[in-house]
Amino acid sequence: MKFFFIGILLASLLACEPNDFATPTVSCTETTPINANYSKARQIQTLLDGFTAEGLPGVAVAVYTPKEGYWAGASGYARLEDKTAMQICHLHYSQSVAKSYMAVGMLKLVETGKIELDTPITTYLPVNLSDNITDAETITVRMLLNHTSGIPNYSLDTDYVTVFLQNPLRSFTGAEYLSYIRKSPLRFKPGSYFQYSDTNYLLLALIANQVHGDHARLIQESVLAPLNLQQTFYHNVQQQTNLVNSYFDRFGDGKLENVSQMQQVNVNSLSGDDGLVASPLDFVRFLRGLLEGKLLSDKSMKTMMTWVNDKNGEPSYGMGLYRVYYSGQLAYGHGGAGLGAGCALYHFPEKQLYVFMGTNMGTLTDGPYVRKVGEMKDQLLDLLLK
C-alpha cells in the first residue's frame, strides 16, 4: 500500500497508539531444508548484521539457486521490546507483493472459463460497486491486471488518507475504499499505458468474490495449497503468533515507534492489493513455483509475462509482476512498501537466482533508516549477482 502521509495527523495518531504493543511471538521453526554451506552465506550475514547494527530493527533474506538450493538468514529483532531475535521463520508482510498472488488466482479463473480477460468489469461487478468507477464499461479485467485501466489510486486519495490516519484501528470494506474515488476522472484512456494503482487489484478481489465466492479462498486454492505454503497467511494476520512487530520512524530522526497494531488492522482490511504475510522461504517458494510452471498453464504464464509499456514506452509490468533491472540484470517479481514493513521478491533468470528480502521497518516515507533499507537492498543484490 502506498499513500502520502499528512505529518500532523500521523504524529497525532501515533501519539494515541500504545507504543508498547507487541505481537506475542513464540519460538518458531523453519521446515524448508537449507544449505548450511551456501557459498555467500557469511558475506550476506555480515551485510545484514552491519545494517541492523546501524539501527534497522530487523531484516531477513532468503535465496534459491538450482546449484546451491535454499538458504536464509536474519539479523536484528522481530520484537525490539523484549529483544526477540529475528529468525528466518518469522512472518513478514508482503505489502504489494500480494498482487502477484492475486494475479495467479484471477488467471486460474480465466483457465476455468469463469472470467474472460477482455470482458468489461461491469459484467462481473454489481452496479453498487462498478458505479464508483468512471466509464467502467470501457475497462476490462486485463486492464486491471496489468494496471492500464487509468483508474485513480484510492490509497492516494487525501480524504481516505485523512480518515485512515484519524482512525488508525478502523477496518474498511472494499466498497468503502471505492467510495473515495467515486466518479473520479480516469487518469488516461483505458489501455493506453501502465500506471500503478492499488484500486485495480482491489477490484480484482471484488470480482473474484462475485465469480468465485471468496477471493481469499481462491488464493488458498490456487497458490498456497498447490505449493504447500504452510507459512503463508492471507487475511488472518492478527492470529499469527510468529508475525514480526512493525516499526516506523515518524519524524525521520532515527527514533523508532511500534506501529504493530495499526499495521495489522490496516493489512487485514486490504483486499487483493495487499493482505498477506509469509516466511522468507515461503515467499521464494511461491515465486519459484510460479515461474517454474507449477501454478498456471503455459498459456497463462505467457499472458502473465506479456509486458505493457509505461508512459515512457518502456516495458514495465505484466500481470502481478514487474519487469525491472538491478545491477544490470533483468528481474521479474514485485516489491512492497508499508507503514511498518518493506520487502522485495525477485527472480533473476540469467543467474537462476530467486531472492526475498524483508524488514519490519516502515518504508513508505523518507528518512535515514528508509535510506538504509535501500542501501541494504542495493548492496545485497550487488553481492548476489556477482
pLDDT tens figures, 138-174 = 999 999 999 999 999 999 999 999 998 888 899 999 9
Give 366 or 57, the one with higher predicted confidence: 57
At 25, the pLDDT band (50, 70, 90 cuts) reads low
What pLDDT, on the 0 to 100 scale, is given for residue 96?
98
Long-range contacts of 314-323, Cβ-Cβ distance < 8 Å, separation of 24 or more: 316/194, 317/146, 317/147, 317/194, 317/196, 318/146, 319/103, 319/106, 319/107, 319/142, 319/145, 319/146, 320/99, 320/100, 320/101, 320/102, 320/103, 320/104, 320/145, 321/100, 321/103
At which residue does the C-alpha cell 492475486 appear?
Answer: 102
pLDDT tens figures, 253-304 = 889 999 999 999 999 999 999 999 999 999 999 999 999 999 999 999 999 9
pTM of the model: 0.94
What pLDDT, on the 0 to 100 scale, is given for residue 1?
45
What pLDDT, on the 0 to 100 scale, is given for residue 232?
97
> What residue segments make up the domains of the chain, in order of their start?
40-385
**Of 351, 361, 359, whose CA–CA distance to 381 is shortest?**
351
CATH topology of domain 40-385: Beta-lactamase (3.40.710)
What pLDDT, on the 0 to 100 scale, is given for residue 168?
87
